[in-house]
Every structure is written in structure tokens, then in C-alpha cells.
Structure 1
Amino acid sequence: MTFARLLLGIAPGALCVAGPLAAQEAEEPFALGEIVIEALRTGATESAIPGTVQVIEAEQIEAQAQSGKTLPTIISDLVPGLAPANGTIGGASQTLRGRTTQILIDGIARTSELRGFDRELAMIDPASIARIEVVKGSTARYGNGATGGIINIVTNKADTDTTQTTVSTNLSFQEADSDTFSYGGSFSHERRVGELGLRIELSNEYNGLSFDGSGDRIPADPLLGQGDDQDSTRSAIGFAADWTRGAHEFEFRLDAYAFEQDIDFFSDYDTSPVSVGENPYTGEPVSDEGRTAKLTYRNAEFALGELEVSAFATDIERRSAFTEPSVVNSQYYADGAGSTEQDPDSQSELFTTTYGLDATVRSPADWIGAEATLTWGLDIGRDEVEQQLLDGTDVIAPMVQDSLAAFAQLDVPLGERWEISTGLRAERFWLSVSDFTRPDSVFLSGTTAVALPAVDVIGGDFEYDAVVGNIGAVFHATPTVDLYGGFSQGFSIPDVGAFTRRAAAENPFLAGQTVSYADIGPDAQIVNTWQLGTRYNNAAWRVDVSAYYSTSDEGTVFDSSTNTITQQKERIWGAEATADYKIREDWSLGTNIAFVEGEYDDDQDGSIDSWLPNSRIPSTYTARLYTTKNFDNGLILSGEAVYASGRDKSDYPELDDTTTINASGSYPLGAGRVTLGVTNLFDTYQFNPTASSVRENPDIIVAEEGRRISLDYTVSF
């Protein structure tokens, strides 16, 4: 199906919904309330935004988590345009509109864009989330990284007038083996003491083994070093406090978590799908530890408008899995110069520390028009990144990056029908790359192992800068219909650490070679996105339909066959639609569908001539159909079908489609509520398209988990 045909298919449906406008304009809108989208920093609500925005409320997240889903799966199922979750603790290939996603927690990134393992979503306790804001399309509101969009996770704070304790316990299992038992619990308490609000959160969970729909065990490291949540424990603690007096408000949040996965056997990548091998695992456990603190001050009566200042710091330590030499791990670190034996300490650990200070002012712009607002400010940041083997040997160049940005966003209502939005962000980076020696390594070709001498990488001090803008408009055609469109830009500096880790001399077999970071470092990538859409909202329907087109001259592609990263021209296009319908007050039905496709300049001759790899677009089409029914006795029943098309393009392995049926029911029991959920209800044997897209030559097929049954009990008092 082509993009044009998809739009032709969506358009009649949108027109059918919009057709009875004259009869329905007087009806009350879908009662969800006006939510300020914090990810935009402007104080704008969804109806005033000239782009595709989605808000996932805590109730939706809670219901999905209690039915047995992980947070990456919850978000991918609910957000059209986000690639299906890959089933591991890493976010490899889980792109948004075919591009990178900036994951924020309360408006801050937990790890540096200079080098990351993409584990943010897997490390967050769903019980701590108040809502999730998804802003699609290239954007620079928070600086480097959001070429496909922003996912901003807003955490809970104490309610305004309630003292409450919530306790939740859960258990899940698969029929295949008793070792699949997973269990955990969470606790939260919040209260108000005068003008002070306090909230404490604790959680702990253990995850057992996982089996596919045919009853075979899924390996604990199916994606070569990513690890997953099998045989793992995760603990988290969070503390939030807020204090308000008059126009002044302070908020403080402190989070800490620890994750560890024990792997018992190496994975066998010679089988299809990947299976549990026979060799006992000899490395250290996969681990992830993080600490984050943020302090925010707001002044609603600041001389220039509304002031918000935030200071934050994060400290993250991440260890990947140890991997044996294999057909997909064809280059590994050597146990000494000239040796072809693997270094037993060649398991990497990533250390990232970030600091930041953000200042935002929302000033009245009455000199332009009534109710016009100018949002402006400064962002200051610092990233410190190292990646080392267990013995302390650097595997990337240690680096420090400082950044300074200024931004301004103008929002102007024109009468009662039009809202215009435009803005600029200018950012400069100062990147200091230390000299380092890329360790001795080995290249494995079939059964032949060739020693590759160490390479000296010369660092230096470098500067990047970017000036990006956006402009858009919303037309309130009727009280129930909004038309929106706009142009926006985002930028990123692609994984600088990965470029130094893969540093190669002109003659890789000759000892004593030197390369300069100035010759191998990536260019800053600017992405341009155009999008058009319409929103429809009345008493029964809530609909959003959009189409987009994005381009970049410095797109980034990873080739797993050569272990190299290249940059070249690319373009991506797609369309998305969501529709929610209230059949009755107690019965709802909904769907979301998405299409995405893209091409790039494979041979770098200036002409875009090849499909983007599956690792960028693992499924061309995705869709979800759901229904929820509330009964008078308190019973709630839900069911859904989730579809991913996979992808079949020349020069790439074919990725199969998947259809997963999930069901859940909850019922009041005692002072709380019990929930029974089943994922993959029919125990379908199928392959995960996103996980199977990560390695394409040779391709690795990863099986999807089979049926899992979950039981949850939650009580608040």
C-alpha cells in the first residue's frame, strides 16, 4: 500500500466523522479536561498545538501494567508511529516515525545523547507515573536528540488535599515452566502538612524466565549485549516534595533505582530464532544503577511574567552483557596484543553524569495581540561520558560536553478561530574529546580469526552549533473540529561515543596506526518535518488524523554487517490516526493505526535511492483495536488486538507480521481491586519484528513471548 493510498483510505473516514458537524456542534466535547503539555514548555494545551500530541493518563498506564505489560510495550501499543517494543530492557530499533526519540522524565534526560544504551523506559516504575506526554515530529524544545519526537514522563506528586497510601502486589507466570514466575510490589504514601506536600514511593520486582508460543525458552540476551528482564531484580525509591506560598512554588524530586540480571547461559545466534546455548555464562551480571535529583522554582508574579527555573543532576552506571565471539559478534576485544583470544574482561560499563540549569519565562505579548504569549529562556548543560571494560580500559574516548542554548516561542491567537505559533532555538556545544587507545581486537571471518592492532585516537576540542525553528497554525473550524499544520526542526549529534569505539585506521592490520576524531566524528544532524492534521472532539468521538514528511542531509544508519555508522541524505513519510468512541457511558471502543516508510542515499552519490534499513523502520504498518466495558457491579472487562506488519524490502531480511490478542478484567475486592490479565491470549508463536531488525546481516530472528497470565491486587486507604 502506498502513502497516497493510505491517505485516501484515512480521509473518507475522517470526513465521515466530520460529516454530522452541524448537528453535533452543540454537544459537549469529550470530557478529558484541558491538560497543559509540559513537554512544550509554553503552557499550551493540546487544542492549541499545531502538531500531533498524545497524553496517556495514569489510569491507562495502571490498567495496562496490571494486565502484565512492560512500560515499553504499553507505550508502543498506545502510541501510533512508535515501533513495537523489542522485548528487552534496551530500546534498540524502537524508533518514533523512523527516527530517534528523546526520553525525558519530568522534562530532563537521564542519560547523555553522546552515548546511551536506551534503557530509560525499562528502568521506570509505572506506578510512579502521573501521565506520559508524546510530542511527535522533530523538535528542539529540550535540545539535542528529538528528531522523531519527545516522550516526557511526568511523575506523581502529593495530591492537593488527600492523605493516601497505596499498596500494589502482582504475580505473573507462563504455563510452560514454573521458573517463569515473576512477582513484585509497590508502595506509595502522600500527605499534605500545611503548604508542604510529601510523597514517597518504593517498588521491588523479580522477573522469571520467558518462553515463546511454541514452549521454547527465549534467551536472556537475545540482542547481543542488550540483556533483558529475565531472571532479574529491580528496586526503586522516589521522593517528591512541593511547597507553595502565594506566587512562589518549589518542587523537589529524588529518584534512585538498581537493576541486575543474572544470565545462566550464552545465547546461540546460529539458530533461528535465537535460542539458549549450551555454554554457561562467564561474565558479570547485566546491571543498571541510577540517581537523579531535580529542584524547580516557580514564580507566577515575576516582573516579566511567569518564571520557572530548574536545576538537575543525574548519575547513571550501566553494564552490558558479556558476549562470546560468534557470527554476529565478529569483532571482539583481544586478550593482549597479537592474540586472537577474547579478553575475559571485555564486558563494557557506561558511566554518564549530566548537570543542567533551565530557565523559562512566559511573558505576556500584548504588544502583538490580545492573549499573545512569548516563552523564552536559557538552558545550560554539561555531560560527562566514559565507557570502559571491567578492568578499566577505555573503549570510547572519554568526553565532556558543555552546552548553552537560548530559545523563544511566540503564540498568538488571531480572533476566535486561529492560533499561530512560531519560535527559534540557538544552541552551541563545546565538546572535549580525550585521547585514548582503542584496544587490540580480533576480526572473525568464518573460522578464521585475525588480530587487529590497537589504534590511537587523537581527541581535541570541538564546537557544534545549531539554529532551528518552527512555525505552525491551528484553525478552529468549529467547536468540535481543529485543523493544524506546521513545519518544525530538530537536531542531534549522533552517538559520538560509538564513532570513537569503532575507530579504524586506514590499514587496520598495521600496528602503531593513529586516527583523529576530527576525521571520524559525526556531523550534527538537522531534521526538517512538515505535518498536517485534524482533530475532532465531541460527546462521543475523539479523533486525530495526521500526515507528515521529514528530511535530513545527515541521517545516521548503522550497518551491522560491517559494524560501521554512516551519515547521508534521507527522507521519511507517514500517516497516523487515532479514534476513540463512547458507545455508551460505560462502554468504549477505539483504534489507532500508523504507516511509516523511508529512503536514503545508500551509495552517498547525492541521490536518495534505497530503502532505509529495518533497524530504522521495523514495521511499516501498526494498528491496535480495543474495547472496554464497565459493569454496574464494578467489573471492568477489556480486550485488544495489536498488529505489526513487519517489513519486506529488497536487500533486507523479511520481517514477519504479528497479531497479539490481550484481555483483562478487574473487580473490586475488599478495600481494593483485583486484576487478572492475559497477554498473547492464544499463545501465538511469532517473531518480534523490532528485535529481529537490530541485526540484519546476518539476520537474527527473535521470538515473541507466548501467553503470560498476570494477577494484581491494589488497595488505597
Structure 2
Amino acid sequence: MTYRCPLPGLTIAMLMTSTALAQETETQPIMLDPITLTASRTGATVENYPGSAQVIEGEDIAARLESGEPLDRILGQLVPGLAPANGTIGSASQTLRGRSVQVLIDGAPRTSELRGFGRELSMIDPASIERIEIVKGSTARFGNGATGGLINIITKTPEDGERTNLSFGLSSGMEGGSIGTDLSFSHERRLNDLGLRLELSRRSMDDLFDGDGKQIPSDPVVGQGNADNYDSYSGAVVLDWRSGSNEITARVGGYHFTQGIDQFTDYSTDPVSVGDEAYTGQDVKDIGRYFNVTWRNPDLTIGETELQLYGSNTDRRAAFVPAGIANPLYYPVSPVDPTQDPNAQSELSTRTIGARFTVNTSLDSWRDGAQLTWGLDASLDDVSQTDLSGRDLIAPMTQKSLAGFAQLDVPVGQVDLSAGLRAEKFWLQVDDFTRPDAVQLSPAGLYLLPAVNVIGGDFNYDAVIGNIGATWHATPVLDLFANISQGFSVPDVGSFTRRAMPANPFAPGQTVSFAALRPDAQIVNTAELGLRYSGDRLQASASAFLSTSDEGTVFESATNTVTQQKERVWGGEAQLSYQAGDALTLGALLGWQEGNYDADGDGSRESWLPNNRIPTPFTATLTADYLFRNNLRLQGELAYAAGRDKAGQPELDEMITVNLFGSYPLARGAINFGITNLFDRAQDNITASSVRENPLTADAIRVADQGRRIYLSYGLSF
């Protein structure tokens, strides 16, 4: 049975219940220090940043994380403008303001932008997170890839003293065989000027079920791999050394994730289901190693200086997907045998190394409070993607990049002015390769696309982009801001070589040059207006934006093609937090976006952007947080995502999910508990259902959302 819940009625009932159970306390409002936004690279605070920025402190997501809720799902509910999570280990279609989002760890990208599986949020150890910063809109301060915005995850560093943390979590759905476990350990101590922190964790999950009690397949979103039947191990060593004005922080770690699949997915059902055929591919895997070393000195003559060196080495394997409506373009055994090659399971290897040099130079001698932030960025990416036999599926490629930037921040009376430029250049080396023979499934039947020789070469991309903005502190509690900014990105180059097609795709022995295939660099222009209000009990922010690009990238899953054309996305966001009582806080997070593009190349944007760019036009999360006198904390949450029904796109249904979280201090630790999808509502996951279309029917390949799940964990410190 599908349970339908009226949005306003449930919210009122939930809040009335919290109020009835509550006990008033005598606490007074606490004035907090300004929150520094490290993702701005300028030392700006959220209050004077001329754009939409959000900081989620660790304590605000701890109950959710420690109760086992995945990070991508948490962010999809707490970040207006970010699409809901698709429920798998990948982030397909989880866009920010309808565009790509760049994930950073302590300011450093974890994987290459040339080609990726989008698993960054799923591979992070939740116990290592200190806070999360979100900067929305196109930005180039961290380089390629952040056309919709960036998510910067700040990890924990050693504190003073000695501390050991242990945590064990257990979760289960309503059906048997759905147990999940989480175990984490950390130990930190300081030896004079040296701080040490050791982190170890293990996570596992059995089967997952929807609200109707049916098992969700282990690969519902076509090769992505689901968040079920996995084992994940991670570990890291963190060092923090301080001497005088110098501080060096280093994090070195790795993780090992494997997912075992028993049955193939049946993509012909609605929603997709566990099929009858036994899975014949190899396990899904994700193995990563990384390092991040940062040196800081605030007292140099040139100003506060930071040098960061980072690198990562990642090997990823997708799930094997049989030929069919979900995999209409597949690799055969040979040109005369259209049977799918059993080795045609994709493996991606990425190697990234880079450096960032940033200086904040005070200009107080010119104007009090003025500063110039400037620096250099350099990186090297190496990417290859093969099948199990070692055959290249994309052209192996290496990219070098160098960028310089300068950002000037000047206070003028009650107005903080900000303007900057970034010059960036990429040197892309593409190797020659042969795109394998492929078979295309179409309404007319099967047809062979003979192998194509792709001639590589050396190619350059460069751009100079800028931003300008202002924040007007109209009153002590009200700020108004406006900005115009640009972002620079080179789209997924690997996908263009994997889909290489000559003028006559049916003739054998064809050759095509990458120069004819290569995507244009994408420049996204964003204009934004907004306000921030911070009163004694009410805190609120709201903004409206418009972003445009002449080189927008659209993936048409039904035809398996990637195209570029003019596009625009517009929308707005709002956040409200109200201290309704001394212990009760109410919140609302709202996001709206829509977009269109020039599908036929006639110069007008007459077509709606596909669902895989904008899965839902409107999201709302309503929250209630109550702290009892005995320190029991309860958090109620209602998350809503509107359906989408646009011409030329499959219709998607709305999502309504009610969650409950809580924590209670016990002994030297705390019990955390949670229930997601409290009413076990049976519904489609709107983001997962936006990823693929059935090429025979042009309808969405729909994926069910998870049903009710109960979490319980206990963590202690000593």
C-alpha cells in the first residue's frame, strides 16, 4: 500500500507533539563568532561573502551521520538547490542548481574532473567530518568543475590533550537480511608541538528494501552500484605540527570498498526489480589512496600564506550491465558475433597530484580592512578506462593545468566590495586509441557500429574569468548582497572519446580525429541577488539566481549521446531558522530551479533541460529540533521533492519522506537513534529515476526509494 501524507498536516502534528513533550529551560541566546568560509580562499565570513554560502557544523549533522544516514542523502535534504540523493554509491543526477558540483576534501579535489564515477561523497569516512561548507553558483577559485558550486568537507585534526573515540552502529529495515553495521575508532594526542590522530572505520550493509517490502536491486541505476551488500574499510593518519608561526597539517589515508551482486537487475519492470538471472560480472569496487599536506604561516611579510600539496590514486570498477533497454549501446564479442562481451565491464583509474599556493595580503595601509588574496594552482591528472581484458574504452589522457588568481576585498562604509580574476590554462594530451566495435539497440532492432580509430594529440584550453560582488550591511541584522561570477570547466572529455562517431558510423575502418570530437570549454555566467537576516530568534537567508552558458553539456540517455549548446538555469533558495522557545528550533530550507536549452541549434532555448540535469524543480525540508532538560535531543524532518512534468521529458512523481533523529548522553558517550522514511512510504526515488530513459518507450527507468529504516548507535570518548 502506498501511504499518502498531507504536507502541512504532518508538519503541524510533528511540531505539536514535540512541543507537548517538551520542558522549557532557562537558557539565554548565545552570541556566536563569525564563521570563516575557507572555501572562499579569502578568509571571508559567511556574513560578508557576496553570494550564497552555507556551513553545516558537525554537531548539526552528527545525529544523522552517527545514526547511519548516508552523507549524500543528508546534504540533499539540508542544502537548498542540491537534488536529493539517488540512493546508490554514485551521485548521478544529484546536481546543484542544475549543474555539476565539485567535491573537495580540505580544499583539495579527491578525483580527476576528466572522467569520474561520482562516488566521492559515498567513500568519505563520516566519523572524520568536522564541518561542511557549500558555496553555490559558478566559481573558479578552486578551478575546473564547479559550475554549479562546490562542497568542501573539512576533516578533523588533533585537538589538545589525549582522547579516544569509539562508536558502533546498527541499522535494519523492516525485512530480514537488511542489517547494516558501522564501527569507527579514533585516537588523538598531542606531544608538545606535534598532534597525532589515527582513524579507522568499517561499514557494511545487507539488502535494501522499498516501502512495499520489495528488495531494491543491487544495480538499479545502470552500472552505478547500489548502497547494499557492501563492505567498506577506511583509515587515515593525521599530523598537526606547530612551531612559532608555522603550522603543518598532513592527512594520509585510504579506503577499500567492495559490493557483491547476486542477481542482475530487471529494468523492464516499474520500478526496476531484482531479476531472475544470476549476476555474472565481477564485484563493484572502489579503492583509493590519498594525501594532503598544508603549511600555513600568518606572519610573513607578504601576508598570511598557505601552501597545499595533495594527491590521490583511485581505482574503480562499475557493475556489469547486460545488453538491453538500460544498456542500449554495448560491446560485442566480435563484429560477426553480436553477443555481449563478458569482459565488457568498465574499470576506471585516475591519478591526481596538485599544489595550491594562497596569500592573503593586508592592504590596511591603503584602506582599513582591505585585503588582496592571490595565488597559483597547478595540477596533473592521468586517466584511463578499460574493460576487464585491458582494452581501452576511452582514450588514455593526461592533463596539466596552471592557474593564477587575485581577489580584492575592500570595505567602503557599510558595503564590502569584492572583485577578482582567474586565468587558467589546461594542456591536454590525448593518446591514440581504437574505440571498440559496438552494437546499438534501437526501436528498429540491432545494428553494428564498427570500431573507430581515434587520433589523439595535444590540445589547449584557456580562459580568463572574473567575479564582482558586494555585500551591504544595511542594518546590524540585515545584509543584502549581489554578485556576478563566472565558472570555467572542461566537460567529461572521456565520454566524448567513448562515444566517438565518424561521419559514416556504419562503415568499417573509419578514422576520426579528437580535434573534431573534443568538447568546448564551458564558461558559466551567474548573476545572483540575496539577503541575510540574523535576529535574536529568527535567522533567514534568501537568494535568486540566473546562470547561462553557450557551451552547456547535455547527456541524452535514450540515444547515449553527449551534446553542447546554449542553456540557462534560473531559480531561488531560502533558509529559515526560528527559535520558537528556549529549547525548540524550527527550520525550513527551500530550493527552486528550472532550465531550458537550445536542442535544435537554432539559437533559441526552446527545450526544457532533461530530468538528469533537473530531477525536481522544487525541494523543501521542514525541521523541528528540541533539546529537553535532561539533554535528550529530538529532531524531526520532513523532506519534499516536487515531481517534474515537462514537454519532451518523462513525468516524475513527487517524493515525501519523514525522518526522526535523536541523541541522549549516556555515561561517557551518547546514544544516537534514527528512523528514516518513518511512515514506510512506497515511492520512486526521483533522482535515480531521472538518470536513464527506455530508448524503446522514451519513458523513465524508474527506481524505488528505500523504505523505513531504523538506526541505533552508541559512541563514547575517554
Q: Which residue number in structure 1 is paired with residue 502 of structure 2?
A: 505
One-letter code aligned to 1:150: L
Q: Quick one: which of 181, 205, 208 aligns to 1:207?
A: 205
- The TM-score with structure 2 as length reference comes to 0.94
Distance 1:87 1:570 in 2: 28
Deviates more, 1:425-434 or 1:625-634: 625-634
- Contact kept, 8 Å, 1:484 with 1:532, in 2: the verdict is yes
SS at match of 1:702: coil
Distance 2:617 2:75 in 1: 18
Q: Which residue number in structure 2 is paired with residue 540 of structure 1?
A: 537
- Does residue 296 (structure 1) correspond to residue 297 (structure 2)? The answer is no
- Does residue 688 (structure 1) correspond to residue 689 (structure 2)? The answer is no
One-letter code aligned to 1:432: Q
Distance 2:66 2:657 in 1: 17
- Does residue 165 (structure 1) correspond to residue 159 (structure 2)? The answer is no
Q: Which residue number in structure 2 is paired with residue 155 of structure 1?
A: 155
Q: Which residue number in structure 2 is paired with residue 595 of structure 1?
A: 592
Shift of 1:164: 1.2
Distance 1:541 1:632 in 2: 22
Distance 1:115 1:83 in 2: 21
Distance 2:558 2:661 in 1: 42
Shift of 1:575: 0.7
Q: Quick one: which of 557, 560, 563 aligns to 1:560?
A: 557
- Contact kept, 8 Å, 1:66 with 1:677, in 2: the verdict is no
- 1:130-145 matches, within 5 Å, as 130-145=130-145
One-letter code aligned to 1:128: S
- Contact kept, 8 Å, 1:94 with 1:690, in 2: the verdict is yes
- 1:368-379 matches, within 5 Å, as 368-379=366-377
- 1:237-256 matches, within 5 Å, as 237-256=235-254
Deviates more, 1:487-496 or 1:688-697: 688-697
Distance 2:251 2:238 in 1: 4
Q: Which residue number in structure 2 is paired with residue 76 of structure 1?
A: 76
Q: How many residues align?
A: 687
Cα offsets for 1:72-106 (capped at 9, x unmatched): 00111100000000000111000000000010001
Distance 1:704 1:36 in 2: 37
SS at match of 1:74: helix
SS at match of 2:203: strand
- 1:565-714 matches, within 5 Å, as 565-696=562-693, 697-714=698-715
One-letter code aligned to 1:424: L
Shift of 1:446: 5.2
Cα offsets for 1:502-535 (capped at 9, x unmatched): 1112222211011110001100000000001110
Q: Which residue number in structure 1 is paired with residue 378 of structure 2?
A: 380
Q: Which residue number in structure 1 is paired with residue 230 of structure 2?
A: 232
One-letter code aligned to 1:550: S
Cα offsets for 1:599-619 (capped at 9, x unmatched): 110111111111111111001
One-letter code aligned to 1:662: N
SS at match of 1:477: strand
Shift of 1:584: 2.3
One-letter code aligned to 1:122: S
- 1:29-48 matches, within 5 Å, as 31-48=31-48
Cα offsets for 1:360-410 (capped at 9, x unmatched): 111112354212100001111110000000111000000000011010000
- 1:73-472 matches, within 5 Å, as 73-159=73-159, 161-176=160-175, 178-366=176-364, 368-415=366-413, 417-445=414-442, 448-472=445-469
Q: Which residue number in structure 1 is paired with residue 23 of structure 2?
A: none
- Contact kept, 8 Å, 1:618 with 1:647, in 2: the verdict is yes
Shift of 1:444: 2.4
One-letter code aligned to 2:181: Y
Distance 1:325 1:439 in 2: 16
Distance 2:535 2:62 in 1: 26
Q: Which residue number in structure 1 is paired with residue 15 of structure 2?
A: none
Cα offsets for 1:114-158 (capped at 9, x unmatched): 101100001011110010000000000011000000100000001
Cα offsets for 1:557-578 (capped at 9, x unmatched): 0011111000000111101000
Cα offsets for 1:153-182 (capped at 9, x unmatched): 0000011x2321111110111112x21011
One-letter code aligned to 2:353: Y
- Contact kept, 8 Å, 1:157 with 1:199, in 2: the verdict is yes
Shift of 1:69: 1.3
Shift of 1:29: 8.2
User: Which consecutive unaligned segments of at least 5 residues does structure 1 have?
Assistant: 1-27
Cα offsets for 1:318-376 (capped at 9, x unmatched): 10000101112111011123320111110010000011111111111235421210000
Cα offsets for 1:13-34 (capped at 9, x unmatched): xxxxxxxxxxxxxxx9873422
Distance 1:294 1:368 in 2: 36
What is the aligned-residue identity percentage? 54
Q: Which residue number in structure 2 is paired with residue 715 of structure 1?
A: 716
Q: Which residue number in structure 2 is paired with residue 22 of structure 1?
A: none
Structure 1: 4+ residue segments shifted above 4 A = none
Distance 2:30 2:703 in 1: 41
- Contact kept, 8 Å, 1:338 with 1:453, in 2: the verdict is no
One-letter code aligned to 2:642: S
One-letter code aligned to 2:702: I
One-letter code aligned to 2:703: V
- Contact kept, 8 Å, 1:293 with 1:314, in 2: the verdict is yes
Shift of 1:291: 0.7
Q: Which residue number in structure 2 is paired with residue 10 of structure 1?
A: none
Distance 2:371 2:620 in 1: 38
Q: Return closer, same or farther for 1:669/1:542 CA change in 2, 3 Å cut-off.
A: same
Distance 2:79 2:169 in 1: 25
Distance 1:241 1:306 in 2: 21
One-letter code aligned to 1:100: S
One-letter code aligned to 1:248: N
- Contact kept, 8 Å, 2:555 with 2:562, in 1: the verdict is yes
Distance 1:67 1:297 in 2: 35
Cα offsets for 1:390-448 (capped at 9, x unmatched): 11100000000001101000000112x11000000000110000000001111223594
SS at match of 1:554: strand
Distance 2:674 2:202 in 1: 20
